[in-house]
Structure 1
Amino acid sequence: MSVRIPFINAYAALPDRFYARVLPTPVKAPQLIRFNHGLAQTLGIELNGADDAELAELFSGNRMAEGAEPLAMAYSGHQFGHLNPQLGDGRAILLGDVTDANGQQRDIQLKGSGRTPFSRGGDGRSPLGPALREYILCEAMTALGVPSTRALAVVASGEAVVREQMEPGAVFTRVAASHIRVGTFQYFALRRDNEALQLLADHVLARHYPDIDTQADDRYRQLFRAVCQRQAQLIARWMLLGFIHGVMNTDNMTISGETIDYGPCAFMDAYHNETVFSSIDRQGRYAYQNQPAIGQWNLARLAETLLPLFPGDEAQAVADATAILQDYVHMHQRAWEQGMAAKLGFSAVQEGDRERAEALLVLLQEGRIDYTLFFRRLSHCTLSGADRGALLSLLDLPQCRKTAPLEQQLNQWIDGWQQALQQREALPDAEARMLAANPAIIPRNHRVAEAIKAAEQGDYSVFHSLLAALEKPFSEAPEFAAYQLPPQPEQQVLRTFCGT
């Protein structure tokens, strides 16, 4: 095989109880849909002239690259608040890990590659739609500046997958800083395997938190605080972009602080803080506004697993973990306030900024105003005499609830905001700051659905066009102007689905 992947396989060096060694199940007729050449180069993958057919064989799991040590990782997890003591990679196989061009370890994993010992009766396969959705969302989030897993390849399997109906199948290749989750720690804590917990924590320290002194007595307490900090910042970034993950189970929260597992996720069009898209989230547990609190809940479950590793007695360990969890609220609030200040053109947070932002969100919700477009068009209104026509035209969109008082209230809010900007900022800098913080293009749900529907009919051009539009989300290229627009009523997609 001409393709060379420089595997080092640090996770496979951990004891056997961390995983099950398993080979992918070959697929019938693999066909390469897309390969991420830029990411491959960063990972040090040498293609050596490999054609699409060879890449399809390799990234479907039909052939194995030299040096790979395929395995399915073991983990547990709370799913919608209910503990499942054994989950694990039921349809994913970690081929191995590499060191990228930046000196960072990265996992390379196949999803939809067949049954494993953790499949729990499932077929281990992935429909085409969820594979394409994850490719789109991974790369869109990365372009938006959000820590995320990445998409290396997606391959049509040439086989059907049975879900609610027969669907075409696919294999998706995901790249992550690691696939270690809160649920990975829960797996060993439930088995009271403190030796494995410490091995796992030491692996995480070396891999993700090298700034923490591994000889410090409180290194695991420092680790927990660092994980909380990353998650607080990550969820703040989701909120600032109007992103709803949809399944924030503990097995879907990484220790590295990356977004992972893009199942029934979506970006809001019209703003409402109770928005839910996931078809399986019937009680709204993971609604938009609940995400920060759910993050804290998940981190509390991580704290429970790490208590045996904290210094001091049990009472001291509980007190330390509780204090960090309480500080998580402030970590998230600071990250959100700083991000919202940038969205509104301010270089720093000052007293009254949070109240100003919250007052705006109340108006956006009252009017069901498009979240992304409002902030983007507001970016062009920093000057007191700026034309507000394009911004206020959002009130004429079909999903909006336009009223005379609302328009008046918005104008009053804009007046006050402009005055604050003029007092505090150099206005050209404020506009530039806003344009860098407020994307013109997001992967709107109807566009993702459109790409999937066309692909299921054998047309991948819509998928490729959408990815091209998402490469530079903060630009307003004329050829991608249509991707900025929210859906018409008949285009709205209000429910999203998992592929399992």
Structure 2
Amino acid sequence: MPVTSAYRPDPRFFDLGAEFGDPVRAADFPETRLRYRNQRAATSVGLEGLTEAEWIAAFGRFQPLTGQPGPLAMRYHGHQFRTYNPDLGDGRGFLAGQLRDDRDRLLDLGTKGSGTTPWSRAGDGRLTLKGGVREVLAATMLESLGVPTSKALSLIETGEALERGDEPSPTRSAVLVRLQHSHVRFGTFQRAAYFQRADLIEQLVEHVRALYHSEVAEGDAPGLLAAIVEASARLTARWIAAGFVHGVLNTDNLNVTGESFDYGPWRFLPSYQPGFTAAYFDQTGLYAFARQPEAVFWNLTQLAGCLKLVADAGPLTDVLNGFGPAYIRHLRAAFLMRLGVKSLGEAADQRLTDTTLALLREGGQTPGSPLRWEPLFFDWFAGFSSSARALAGPRAGVYQGEAFDAFRFALFEHEPDRPERLEHPMFAAREPEEMLIDEVETLWADIAMGANWTAFETKLARLETARQAWDFAEP
């Protein structure tokens, strides 16, 4: 299979042994129709030269790429809505391979909807096409907003009729492949701890440390936890600044590199609503928008509990206590990034964060025309440099009153960061790119009812334009 010299296979997880995964085979799908190919991501790992037939062979039929040992279903446990489940593991996906990207980072090729495994728990191992479309949209939108996220690499429709309780059935099927830095979950550690296998915890600590947090000293479990706490705090802050609700923050959906992945019932906020939930089954609001930091911290405490098999509790507790300050620090940085301004010091940066949230809170309650989350950052990007644009725009009537005055004062204290970005044509538009649920459903309706992929492809092209316009540094 033709790959470029940039393709560098490095299947390191496979070396961990049988306690961490099970060799599996992909399903034999009746059809393989390529619906999405992320050529930019493919280029980063030397796979851009694959023909469509070769792409489908690799990511629809799962013929192993050169240097890859074949699919492996990963073993893990997890808390699901804070109830421990020892029967998890890759039930409809597997690790298809690992390779280095153009920044020498180790990336996983992970699947979703690729067939049954020993951990399928009577499920069919399949993914609905709608679920695949939604994951592509979520990952692409989050990447454009500077959130550490997996990248959807491939989506192939597979020609099966699936029965689902939360979609009109029968519904179409697909298989997704994502690129992300690690699929080692908090739940991977939980499984080892469940069996009281300190040896497996030690093996995992060294594996994760060496490959993803090499600044940590060998054998330093508290140091590794500190690195994961820091990465998780950054991820959570970026979610909040993006107005994103993951929906299912179970311990098997958080990984050791602080990277967002596995998008199910996600939503973006229409306006500032702290109690906004993404999943219809989250009836208590456990994973509501404003409770996401609490959820991530709770999951980190479960990871720390696993590490007590190989480290003293005191240092681990000290590390956990650092999550709150780290989250606040990253939240300030995330709001500065989204508003396109430079830091002016902790006090001024916190004032800007607080006044931004206050304006979103007040504006979101405006009768008739509430201030939506995303437009505020679009209107006021680069601070004073956008003043005339914002005050002549469609939300000029919202930008008044005490909350706005406090926000504008705090914003104008800060120097614009690369204000030349405002020269991008995107900022001449009246509205930003958003990803609210009504648009998602409309995009899906075109596909479901008319087999029309044009609107979906156009949206992805616009999000790529937005990514280039925002030009946030890749996490």
Pairwise same-fold verdict (TM > 0.5)? yes
What displacement does 1:366 show?
2.8
> 1:201: which partner in 2?
205
Contact map agreement 2:385 2:419 (CA 8 A) in 1:
no
* SS in structure 2 at match of 1:235: helix
Query: Structure 2 matches for 1:235-250, cutoff 5 A?
Result: 235-250=236-251
What displacement does 1:112 show?
0.7
* SS in structure 2 at match of 1:256: coil
1:39 matches 2:41: yes
Write the letter of the residue equivalent to 2:333: Q
What displacement does 1:199 show?
0.7
What displacement does 1:415 show?
3.0
* SS in structure 2 at match of 1:17: coil
Contact map agreement 1:346 1:430 (CA 8 A) in 2:
no
Contact map agreement 2:106 2:181 (CA 8 A) in 1:
yes
Q: Distance in 2 between matches of 1:292 and 1:463?
A: 32
* SS in structure 1 at match of 2:308: helix
Query: Structure 2 matches for 1:391-410, cutoff 5 A?
Result: 392-393=395-396, 410=400
Cα distance change, pair 38–183 in 1 and its aligned pair in 2 (3 A): same
Cα distance change, pair 358–460 in 1 and its aligned pair in 2 (3 A): closer
* SS in structure 2 at match of 1:96: strand
Query: Structure 2 matches for 1:87-486, cutoff 5 A?
Result: 87-164=88-165, 165-214=169-218, 219-310=220-311, 317-344=312-339, 345=341, 347-348=343-344, 349-351=346-348, 353=351, 354-367=353-366, 368-379=370-381, 382=384, 386=388, 388-390=391-393, 392-393=395-396, 410-422=400-412, 424-426=413-415, 429=417, 440-457=432-449, 458-473=451-466
* SS in structure 1 at match of 2:274: coil
Cα distance change, pair 256–371 in 1 and its aligned pair in 2 (3 A): same
* SS in structure 2 at match of 1:258: coil
Cα distance change, pair 388–280 in 1 and its aligned pair in 2 (3 A): same
Q: Distance in 1 between matches of 2:387 and 2:376?
A: 18
Contact map agreement 2:131 2:264 (CA 8 A) in 1:
yes
What displacement does 1:36 show?
1.6
1:58 matches 2:74: no
Contact map agreement 1:384 1:418 (CA 8 A) in 2:
no
* TM-score, normalised relative to structure 1: 0.83
* SS in structure 2 at match of 1:471: helix
Cα distance change, pair 333–302 in 1 and its aligned pair in 2 (3 A): same
Cα distance change, pair 362–124 in 1 and its aligned pair in 2 (3 A): same
What displacement does 1:338 show?
2.6
Q: Distance in 1 between matches of 2:61 and 2:36?
A: 15
Post-superposition Cα deviations, 1:92-129, rounded to whole Å, max 9, x if no partner, equal 02111112221111111221111000000000000101
Pairwise CA RMSD: 2.7
> 1:487: which partner in 2?
none
* SS in structure 1 at match of 2:107: strand
Q: Distance in 1 between matches of 2:112 and 2:407?
A: 47
Contact map agreement 1:131 1:171 (CA 8 A) in 2:
yes
Cα distance change, pair 74–474 in 1 and its aligned pair in 2 (3 A): closer
Q: Distance in 1 between matches of 2:406 and 2:61?
A: 58
Q: Distance in 1 between matches of 2:332 and 2:17?
A: 43
Post-superposition Cα deviations, 1:280-320, rounded to whole Å, max 9, x if no partner, equal 2121110000000111000000000011222xxxxxx2222
Size of the aligned set, in residue pairs, is 450
> 1:480: which partner in 2?
none
Contact map agreement 1:382 1:430 (CA 8 A) in 2:
no
* Structure 1 range deviating more: 354-363 or 159-168: 354-363
* SS in structure 2 at match of 1:169: strand
Cα distance change, pair 244–425 in 1 and its aligned pair in 2 (3 A): closer
* SS in structure 1 at match of 2:152: strand
* SS in structure 2 at match of 1:65: coil
Post-superposition Cα deviations, 1:240-259, rounded to whole Å, max 9, x if no partner, equal 11000000000000111100
Write the letter of the residue equivalent to 1:139: T
What displacement does 1:343 show?
4.3
Write the letter of the residue equivalent to 1:413: A
Write the letter of the residue equivalent to 1:390: G
What displacement does 1:233 show?
0.7
* SS in structure 2 at match of 1:369: coil
Q: Distance in 2 between matches of 1:384 and 1:11?
A: 48
Write the letter of the residue equivalent to 2:405: D
Write the letter of the residue equivalent to 1:179: H
* SS in structure 2 at match of 1:278: coil
Cα distance change, pair 384–153 in 1 and its aligned pair in 2 (3 A): closer
Q: Distance in 1 between matches of 2:176 and 2:397?
A: 37
Of 6, 10, 13, 2:12 maps to: 10
Q: Distance in 2 between matches of 1:9 and 1:106?
A: 9
Write the letter of the residue equivalent to 2:271: A
> 2:473: which partner in 1?
none
Write the letter of the residue equivalent to 1:359: A
What displacement does 1:379 show?
3.5
Contact map agreement 1:32 1:53 (CA 8 A) in 2:
no
Cα distance change, pair 356–20 in 1 and its aligned pair in 2 (3 A): same
Write the letter of the residue equivalent to 1:170: A
Q: Distance in 2 between matches of 1:109 and 1:250?
A: 18
> 1:27: which partner in 2?
29
Cα distance change, pair 325–46 in 1 and its aligned pair in 2 (3 A): same
Contact map agreement 1:273 1:289 (CA 8 A) in 2:
yes
What displacement does 1:465 show?
0.8
* SS in structure 1 at match of 2:238: helix
> 1:485: which partner in 2?
none
* SS in structure 2 at match of 1:152: strand
Q: Distance in 1 between matches of 2:54 and 2:313?
A: 53
Q: Distance in 1 between matches of 2:397 and 2:85?
A: 45
Cα distance change, pair 308–447 in 1 and its aligned pair in 2 (3 A): same
Cα distance change, pair 429–2 in 1 and its aligned pair in 2 (3 A): closer
* Structure 1 range deviating more: 130-139 or 186-195: 130-139
* SS in structure 1 at match of 2:119: coil
What displacement does 1:342 show?
4.5
* SS in structure 2 at match of 1:382: helix
Write the letter of the residue equivalent to 1:222: G
